[in-house]
Amino acid sequence: MTTIQMPHQQTGLALVELIIALALSAVLMLGVTRMFADSVSNSSSETALAQVQDSARIAMEVIKKDVRMAGFQGNAPSSVVPEANSLVDLSQQAVSIVADTTDATNSDTLRVQRAFETSKSMDLSDSNAGNGVVRVVNFYDTANGNQLQFDRAICYDSDDIFLITDGQKVATFKPQQAAACITTNPETSSNERVTPIGENDNGINLSGFAIPDDCSTATLEFCPILYQLGSANGSTYAVQDRLDSSNNPLTATDGNTIPALFVNGDEMVEGVENLQFLLGITDSSGNTKYAESCSSTEISSGDCNITHIKLSMVVSSSFPVSSQQNNQSYPILNVQAAQSTFQPNDRRLRRVFTSTIQLRNRG
Protein backbone atom coordinates (compact mmCIF):
# COMPACT_ATOMS: atom_id res chain seq x y z
CA MET A 1 0.00 0.00 0.00
CA THR A 2 1.50 3.36 -1.02
CA THR A 3 1.57 6.07 1.61
CA ILE A 4 0.98 9.56 0.35
CA GLN A 5 2.62 12.29 2.47
CA MET A 6 0.81 15.53 2.53
CA PRO A 7 3.02 18.69 2.35
CA HIS A 8 3.44 20.59 5.63
CA GLN A 9 1.22 23.62 5.88
CA GLN A 10 3.35 26.85 6.07
CA THR A 11 2.26 29.27 8.73
CA GLY A 12 3.24 32.95 9.22
CA LEU A 13 4.62 34.74 12.28
CA ALA A 14 2.31 35.18 15.12
CA LEU A 15 1.45 38.75 16.10
CA VAL A 16 3.45 38.49 19.30
CA GLU A 17 6.48 37.21 17.40
CA LEU A 18 6.19 40.06 14.92
CA ILE A 19 6.03 42.65 17.69
CA ILE A 20 9.07 41.15 19.38
CA ALA A 21 11.00 41.14 16.10
CA LEU A 22 10.11 44.78 15.41
CA ALA A 23 11.05 45.79 18.93
CA LEU A 24 14.43 44.07 18.67
CA SER A 25 15.02 45.68 15.26
CA ALA A 26 14.10 49.09 16.65
CA VAL A 27 16.49 48.72 19.57
CA LEU A 28 19.27 47.59 17.22
CA MET A 29 18.66 50.50 14.82
CA LEU A 30 18.54 52.94 17.72
CA GLY A 31 21.91 51.70 18.91
CA VAL A 32 23.42 51.94 15.42
CA THR A 33 21.96 55.43 14.95
CA ARG A 34 23.31 56.55 18.33
CA MET A 35 26.75 55.18 17.51
CA PHE A 36 26.68 56.98 14.15
CA ALA A 37 25.57 60.26 15.79
CA ASP A 38 28.29 59.98 18.42
CA SER A 39 30.85 59.26 15.72
CA VAL A 40 29.76 62.30 13.71
CA SER A 41 29.78 64.47 16.85
CA ASN A 42 33.25 63.27 17.88
CA SER A 43 34.57 63.82 14.36
CA SER A 44 33.12 67.34 14.32
CA SER A 45 34.64 68.13 17.72
CA GLU A 46 38.04 66.77 16.69
CA THR A 47 37.94 68.79 13.47
CA ALA A 48 36.99 71.94 15.39
CA LEU A 49 39.72 71.38 17.99
CA ALA A 50 42.34 70.87 15.27
CA GLN A 51 41.17 74.05 13.55
CA VAL A 52 41.35 76.03 16.80
CA GLN A 53 44.83 74.75 17.65
CA ASP A 54 46.17 75.47 14.14
CA SER A 55 44.72 78.98 14.16
CA ALA A 56 46.20 79.69 17.60
CA ARG A 57 49.63 78.39 16.60
CA ILE A 58 49.75 80.51 13.44
CA ALA A 59 48.42 83.63 15.18
CA MET A 60 50.95 83.28 18.00
CA GLU A 61 53.83 82.93 15.54
CA VAL A 62 52.69 85.98 13.56
CA ILE A 63 52.50 88.14 16.69
CA LYS A 64 55.66 86.78 18.33
CA LYS A 65 57.80 87.33 15.25
CA ASP A 66 56.94 91.04 15.17
CA VAL A 67 56.89 91.66 18.93
CA ARG A 68 60.34 90.16 19.43
CA MET A 69 61.74 92.72 16.98
CA ALA A 70 59.88 95.68 18.50
CA GLY A 71 62.14 98.69 18.95
CA PHE A 72 64.71 97.48 16.43
CA GLN A 73 66.55 100.49 14.99
CA GLY A 74 69.28 99.06 12.85
CA ASN A 75 72.77 98.73 14.29
CA ALA A 76 72.11 101.40 16.90
CA PRO A 77 71.40 100.32 20.49
CA SER A 78 67.71 100.26 21.35
CA SER A 79 68.34 102.76 24.16
CA VAL A 80 69.52 105.50 21.78
CA VAL A 81 67.10 108.43 21.80
CA PRO A 82 66.36 109.79 18.29
CA GLU A 83 67.54 113.22 17.21
CA ALA A 84 65.42 116.27 17.94
CA ASN A 85 62.21 116.61 15.87
CA SER A 86 62.18 112.88 15.01
CA LEU A 87 58.70 111.48 14.36
CA VAL A 88 58.98 108.25 16.38
CA ASP A 89 61.00 107.41 19.47
CA LEU A 90 61.57 103.64 19.32
CA SER A 91 63.45 103.75 22.62
CA GLN A 92 60.13 104.58 24.33
CA GLN A 93 57.43 103.69 21.78
CA ALA A 94 58.30 100.18 20.67
CA VAL A 95 54.88 98.78 21.53
CA SER A 96 51.58 100.27 22.64
CA ILE A 97 48.08 99.03 23.44
CA VAL A 98 44.76 100.57 22.49
CA ALA A 99 42.12 99.24 24.89
CA ASP A 100 38.35 99.65 24.76
CA THR A 101 37.57 102.17 27.49
CA THR A 102 33.86 101.26 27.61
CA ASP A 103 34.24 97.47 27.94
CA ALA A 104 37.64 96.02 28.79
CA THR A 105 36.51 92.52 27.80
CA ASN A 106 36.49 93.65 24.16
CA SER A 107 39.68 92.91 22.25
CA ASP A 108 42.71 95.17 22.56
CA THR A 109 44.62 96.55 19.59
CA LEU A 110 48.40 96.10 19.64
CA ARG A 111 50.78 98.42 17.78
CA VAL A 112 54.35 97.27 17.18
CA GLN A 113 57.02 99.59 15.84
CA ARG A 114 60.30 98.43 14.36
CA ALA A 115 62.63 99.30 11.51
CA PHE A 116 62.70 97.26 8.29
CA GLU A 117 65.40 97.38 5.64
CA THR A 118 64.17 99.44 2.71
CA SER A 119 64.21 97.40 -0.50
CA LYS A 120 63.72 99.38 -3.70
CA SER A 121 64.34 98.95 -7.43
CA MET A 122 67.99 98.95 -8.45
CA ASP A 123 67.07 100.97 -11.53
CA LEU A 124 63.67 102.61 -12.00
CA SER A 125 64.18 102.75 -15.76
CA ASP A 126 64.81 98.99 -16.02
CA SER A 127 62.00 96.69 -14.88
CA ASN A 128 64.40 93.72 -14.97
CA ALA A 129 66.97 95.30 -12.65
CA GLY A 130 65.44 93.77 -9.52
CA ASN A 131 65.35 95.18 -5.99
CA GLY A 132 68.01 95.72 -3.38
CA VAL A 133 68.62 97.30 0.02
CA VAL A 134 68.91 101.08 -0.22
CA ARG A 135 72.16 102.48 1.19
CA VAL A 136 72.95 105.98 2.45
CA VAL A 137 76.17 107.25 0.87
CA ASN A 138 76.26 110.74 2.36
CA PHE A 139 74.85 112.91 5.14
CA TYR A 140 74.83 116.61 4.45
CA ASP A 141 74.95 119.14 7.25
CA THR A 142 72.68 122.17 7.50
CA ALA A 143 74.99 124.26 5.34
CA ASN A 144 74.35 121.94 2.41
CA GLY A 145 70.58 121.67 2.66
CA ASN A 146 70.44 119.10 5.47
CA GLN A 147 69.89 116.22 3.05
CA LEU A 148 70.92 112.60 2.81
CA GLN A 149 71.95 110.88 -0.40
CA PHE A 150 71.18 107.31 -1.45
CA ASP A 151 73.08 104.94 -3.68
CA ARG A 152 70.34 105.28 -6.31
CA ALA A 153 67.19 107.19 -7.19
CA ILE A 154 64.15 105.86 -5.31
CA CYS A 155 60.47 106.73 -5.11
CA TYR A 156 58.44 107.31 -1.94
CA ASP A 157 55.28 108.92 -0.61
CA SER A 158 55.25 112.06 1.51
CA ASP A 159 53.74 110.13 4.46
CA ASP A 160 56.33 107.30 4.39
CA ILE A 161 58.39 107.18 7.58
CA PHE A 162 62.07 106.22 7.41
CA LEU A 163 64.86 105.67 9.93
CA ILE A 164 68.55 106.40 9.50
CA THR A 165 71.42 105.59 11.82
CA ASP A 166 75.20 105.58 11.76
CA GLY A 167 75.32 103.24 14.76
CA GLN A 168 75.57 106.11 17.25
CA LYS A 169 72.74 108.44 16.27
CA VAL A 170 69.20 107.77 15.09
CA ALA A 171 66.59 109.87 13.30
CA THR A 172 63.07 109.01 12.12
CA PHE A 173 61.57 111.25 9.46
CA LYS A 174 59.30 111.67 6.47
CA PRO A 175 60.44 113.15 3.13
CA GLN A 176 59.84 116.84 2.59
CA GLN A 177 57.91 115.94 -0.54
CA ALA A 178 56.88 112.81 -2.41
CA ALA A 179 58.86 111.27 -5.25
CA ALA A 180 56.31 109.22 -7.16
CA CYS A 181 57.17 106.23 -9.32
CA ILE A 182 56.40 107.23 -12.92
CA THR A 183 58.16 104.76 -15.16
CA THR A 184 57.67 106.85 -18.30
CA ASN A 185 60.01 109.51 -16.97
CA PRO A 186 61.84 108.09 -13.95
CA GLU A 187 64.57 110.72 -13.87
CA THR A 188 62.12 113.46 -12.89
CA SER A 189 59.76 111.34 -10.78
CA SER A 190 62.24 110.00 -8.23
CA ASN A 191 65.16 111.30 -6.26
CA GLU A 192 68.45 110.07 -4.89
CA ARG A 193 68.39 112.78 -2.21
CA VAL A 194 65.82 113.56 0.46
CA THR A 195 65.33 116.31 3.02
CA PRO A 196 64.21 114.73 6.32
CA ILE A 197 61.25 116.41 8.01
CA GLY A 198 60.10 115.62 11.54
CA GLU A 199 57.52 116.87 14.02
CA ASN A 200 55.60 119.98 12.95
CA ASP A 201 57.45 119.77 9.62
CA ASN A 202 60.70 120.85 11.26
CA GLY A 203 63.96 119.79 9.68
CA ILE A 204 66.30 117.27 11.32
CA ASN A 205 69.95 118.16 11.76
CA LEU A 206 72.21 115.55 10.14
CA SER A 207 75.54 117.23 10.89
CA GLY A 208 76.35 114.74 13.65
CA PHE A 209 75.89 111.64 11.45
CA ALA A 210 78.98 110.02 9.99
CA ILE A 211 79.64 107.80 6.97
CA PRO A 212 82.15 104.94 7.54
CA ASP A 213 85.52 105.44 5.87
CA ASP A 214 85.17 102.18 3.90
CA CYS A 215 81.78 103.18 2.45
CA SER A 216 81.98 103.89 -1.28
CA THR A 217 80.11 103.17 -4.51
CA ALA A 218 82.36 100.12 -4.89
CA THR A 219 81.80 98.89 -1.31
CA LEU A 220 78.17 99.72 -0.60
CA GLU A 221 77.90 96.92 1.95
CA PHE A 222 79.77 99.16 4.40
CA CYS A 223 77.36 102.07 3.91
CA PRO A 224 74.48 102.75 6.34
CA ILE A 225 71.12 101.19 5.45
CA LEU A 226 67.96 103.22 4.91
CA TYR A 227 65.27 101.70 7.14
CA GLN A 228 61.52 102.09 6.89
CA LEU A 229 58.92 102.19 9.69
CA GLY A 230 55.93 102.20 7.35
CA SER A 231 53.69 104.49 9.39
CA ALA A 232 53.58 106.28 12.73
CA ASN A 233 51.41 103.45 14.13
CA GLY A 234 53.70 100.63 13.00
CA SER A 235 52.16 97.18 12.56
CA THR A 236 48.62 97.05 13.98
CA TYR A 237 47.09 93.80 15.30
CA ALA A 238 43.33 93.75 15.87
CA VAL A 239 40.34 91.37 15.92
CA GLN A 240 37.64 92.09 13.35
CA ASP A 241 34.83 90.21 11.63
CA ARG A 242 35.59 88.63 8.28
CA LEU A 243 33.94 90.43 5.37
CA ASP A 244 32.70 89.32 1.98
CA SER A 245 33.45 91.07 -1.32
CA SER A 246 30.74 93.64 -0.55
CA ASN A 247 32.23 94.38 2.89
CA ASN A 248 29.36 92.65 4.67
CA PRO A 249 30.15 90.39 7.67
CA LEU A 250 30.46 86.73 6.78
CA THR A 251 28.35 84.36 8.89
CA ALA A 252 28.76 80.69 9.80
CA THR A 253 26.06 78.02 9.69
CA ASP A 254 24.85 79.16 13.12
CA GLY A 255 24.22 82.67 11.80
CA ASN A 256 27.01 84.27 13.85
CA THR A 257 29.83 86.31 12.38
CA ILE A 258 33.31 84.82 11.90
CA PRO A 259 36.11 86.69 13.72
CA ALA A 260 39.72 86.81 12.57
CA LEU A 261 43.10 88.35 13.39
CA PHE A 262 43.84 91.31 11.12
CA VAL A 263 47.27 92.88 10.62
CA ASN A 264 47.29 96.40 9.19
CA GLY A 265 43.73 95.85 7.99
CA ASP A 266 44.52 92.57 6.20
CA GLU A 267 43.00 89.29 7.37
CA MET A 268 45.63 86.87 8.63
CA VAL A 269 44.15 84.10 10.81
CA GLU A 270 40.51 83.00 11.04
CA GLY A 271 38.94 82.19 14.40
CA VAL A 272 40.82 84.60 16.67
CA GLU A 273 37.94 85.99 18.71
CA ASN A 274 39.46 87.91 21.60
CA LEU A 275 42.91 89.43 22.19
CA GLN A 276 44.14 90.98 25.41
CA PHE A 277 47.60 92.44 26.03
CA LEU A 278 49.56 93.71 29.04
CA LEU A 279 52.89 95.50 28.86
CA GLY A 280 55.75 94.28 31.04
CA ILE A 281 57.45 97.49 32.22
CA THR A 282 60.82 96.97 33.92
CA ASP A 283 62.28 99.65 36.20
CA SER A 284 65.93 100.45 36.88
CA SER A 285 65.97 97.93 39.75
CA GLY A 286 64.92 95.09 37.46
CA ASN A 287 61.38 94.85 38.80
CA THR A 288 58.67 94.22 36.20
CA LYS A 289 55.05 95.30 36.48
CA TYR A 290 52.28 94.60 33.98
CA ALA A 291 50.00 97.42 32.86
CA GLU A 292 48.15 98.62 29.77
CA SER A 293 50.48 101.61 29.33
CA CYS A 294 53.37 103.52 30.84
CA SER A 295 52.48 106.35 33.18
CA SER A 296 53.04 109.95 32.07
CA THR A 297 55.85 110.17 34.62
CA GLU A 298 57.58 107.08 33.21
CA ILE A 299 57.31 108.47 29.69
CA SER A 300 58.55 111.96 30.55
CA SER A 301 61.49 110.58 32.55
CA GLY A 302 62.45 108.07 29.85
CA ASP A 303 61.60 105.10 32.07
CA CYS A 304 58.99 103.52 29.79
CA ASN A 305 61.17 100.44 29.44
CA ILE A 306 58.84 97.77 28.01
CA THR A 307 60.66 94.44 28.09
CA HIS A 308 57.80 91.91 27.83
CA ILE A 309 54.36 91.50 26.37
CA LYS A 310 51.83 89.18 28.02
CA LEU A 311 48.87 88.13 25.90
CA SER A 312 45.75 85.99 26.05
CA MET A 313 43.96 84.78 22.95
CA VAL A 314 40.52 83.18 22.68
CA VAL A 315 40.20 81.14 19.49
CA SER A 316 36.90 79.64 18.33
CA SER A 317 35.89 77.16 15.65
CA SER A 318 34.21 78.57 12.56
CA PHE A 319 31.21 76.26 12.92
CA PRO A 320 28.94 75.09 15.78
CA VAL A 321 29.86 71.89 17.59
CA SER A 322 27.80 71.62 20.76
CA SER A 323 24.09 70.83 20.76
CA GLN A 324 23.54 73.46 23.46
CA GLN A 325 24.48 77.09 23.93
CA ASN A 326 28.01 77.57 25.25
CA ASN A 327 27.78 79.68 28.41
CA GLN A 328 31.25 78.86 29.67
CA SER A 329 33.41 81.74 30.95
CA TYR A 330 36.95 81.99 29.55
CA PRO A 331 39.76 83.72 31.50
CA ILE A 332 41.38 86.67 29.73
CA LEU A 333 44.09 89.15 30.72
CA ASN A 334 42.87 92.40 32.19
CA VAL A 335 44.04 94.72 34.93
CA GLN A 336 40.46 94.96 36.18
CA ALA A 337 39.60 91.72 37.99
CA ALA A 338 35.90 92.25 37.33
CA GLN A 339 36.54 92.22 33.57
CA SER A 340 38.87 89.23 33.36
CA THR A 341 36.45 86.76 31.76
CA PHE A 342 35.02 86.42 28.28
CA GLN A 343 31.62 84.75 27.97
CA PRO A 344 30.16 84.00 24.52
CA ASN A 345 26.72 82.60 23.84
CA ASP A 346 26.75 80.17 20.94
CA ARG A 347 27.56 76.53 20.16
CA ARG A 348 31.16 76.84 18.97
CA LEU A 349 34.23 75.18 20.48
CA ARG A 350 36.78 77.50 22.10
CA ARG A 351 40.17 77.42 23.77
CA VAL A 352 42.24 80.08 25.57
CA PHE A 353 45.95 80.45 24.79
CA THR A 354 48.37 82.60 26.80
CA SER A 355 52.00 83.55 26.28
CA THR A 356 54.68 85.96 27.49
CA ILE A 357 56.96 87.37 24.83
CA GLN A 358 60.31 89.04 25.54
CA LEU A 359 61.32 91.97 23.36
CA ARG A 360 64.80 91.20 22.07
CA ASN A 361 65.66 94.86 21.65
CA ARG A 362 64.54 95.97 25.08
CA GLY A 363 66.08 95.41 28.49
Q: What residues pair up with 187 in beta bridges, in sequence order?
A: none
Q: Which amino acid is at 260?
A: A
Q: Where are the alpha helices (DSSP H) in 120-276?
A: 186-189
Q: Within 13 Å and on the Cβ side, how many CA atoms surround 132?
A: 15
- pLDDT for 301 equals 79
Low-confidence ranges of the chain (pLDDT < 70): 1-13, 17, 31-43, 141-145, 182-190, 362-363
At residue 188, the pLDDT reads: 45
Contact 55, 314 (CB under 8 A): no
Instruction: Note whether 203 and 134 are within 8 A (CB).
Output: no
Q: How far is CA 99 from CA 93, 112, 223, 279, 338, in A?
A: 16, 15, 41, 12, 16
CA-based nearest residue to 275, from 239, 233, 316, 236: 239
* pLDDT attached to residue 180: 73
Q: Residue 235 to residues 67, 201, 317, 319, 329: CA-CA distances in angstroms?
A: 10, 23, 26, 30, 30
Long-range pairs of 281-289 with CB within 8 A, sequence gap ≥ 24: 281/305, 281/306, 281/307, 282/306, 282/307, 282/308, 282/363
